[in-house]
Structure 1
Amino acid sequence: MDVHDGGGAVRLGVQDPWTEALAVGPWEEHGGPSQRPEPGAAARQEPDRTAVYRQVQAGEAFQEVRRRYRRFAFPAAGACLVCYLLYVTAAITAPGLMGRPVAGAVNVAMLAGLGQFAMTFLLTWAYARHARLRRDRAALELRWDTQERVR
């Protein structure tokens, strides 16, 4: 049943406040039987959580955290993709180079493959460092502010 029919949908899913704020549209149903206010409870009603999360999402602080994330994540993902494609392209087009022995049974292809693993660990370390230094504090402050506004 729709909201205008007097009914409500049962809420299912993860209790993530951002999920509700991002997925709200005219087709969504708000509230359920368990969320209807009790008689006389108008004075202690909760603020509209969806509106709060939408305001936070549209705010400059949230946009700055997202901008910092994008400035790191997209170039890093692109660089990793290019390295991987270079490895695959070299393996296909230059088998003589990739098969050249370096030390004993170890050849260039094996070193390049191990370099892929090293690049993955390096990227993970760089991502964690970037998040810790450039985003975590701002995101935590934003989260605290949002939780205070929702209460």
Structure 2
Amino acid sequence: MSDNPEAHLPPRHSPLPELEESGPTRRIAAPEEFARVQTSPEFAQLRSRFRAFAFPMTVAFLVWYFLYVLLSTYAEDAMSTPLLGHLNVGLVFGLLQFVSTFLITWLYVRHANRSLDPVAAQLRTELEGEA
């Protein structure tokens, strides 16, 4: 038995797929073109739209997260209030952390699809050409 874990593979095996030359090619933009796009109003708009979503949502999530941690630490009586059987306020808040994470992800994907991706695709096409 060989010590080589890849001994059973063909001689020129690569775990990465080969890049196909037959597919659509994109032109490679020059550094000056990237600098021009970076100073364009469209790129500024893209950055602004991203930040308008990301910064407030990050702050809101961190406030919600630290509120949960602080309540768990300093308001034990309130967090251990039973709601239904063994289900208490603290457990519900903990589960809501997961719900809020999925909600923020869904909201970001929706925001990106509507507001960010079209502008980014336009800038990419301008730089690299049609796919």
Task: Give the TM interval when normalised to the shorter protein.
Answer: 0.7 to 0.9
Count of residues paired in the alignment: 103
- Relative contact order, higher structure (CA 8 A, sep 6+): 2
Which stretches in structure 1 are left out of the alignment for 5+ residues? 1-45
RMSD value, Cα: 1.5
Instruction: Report the counterpart of residue 78 of structure 1 in structure 2.
Output: 59
Report the Cα distance in structure 1 between the residues aligned to 2:99 and 2:106, rounded to whole angstroms.
Answer: 11
1:76 partner amino acid: M
Instruction: Report the counterpart of residue 137 of structure 1 in structure 2.
Output: 118
Moved over 2 A (4+): none
Kindly tell me: are residues 63 and 81 of structure 1, through their superposed partners in 2, closer, same or farther at Cα, counting changes over 3 Å?
same
Q: Which has the higher helix share?
A: 1
Kindly tell me: are residues 102 and 147 of structure 1, through their superposed partners in 2, closer, same or farther at Cα, counting changes over 3 Å?
same
Q: Give the alignment partner of residue 95 of structure 2, picking from 99, 114, 120.
A: 114
Normalising by structure 1, report the TM-score: 0.66
Which stretches in structure 2 are left out of the alignment for 5+ residues? 1-26
Normalising by structure 2, report the TM-score: 0.75
- Percent of paired sites with the same residue: 39
Q: 1:1-151 maps to which residues of 2 (within 5 A)?
A: 49-148=30-129
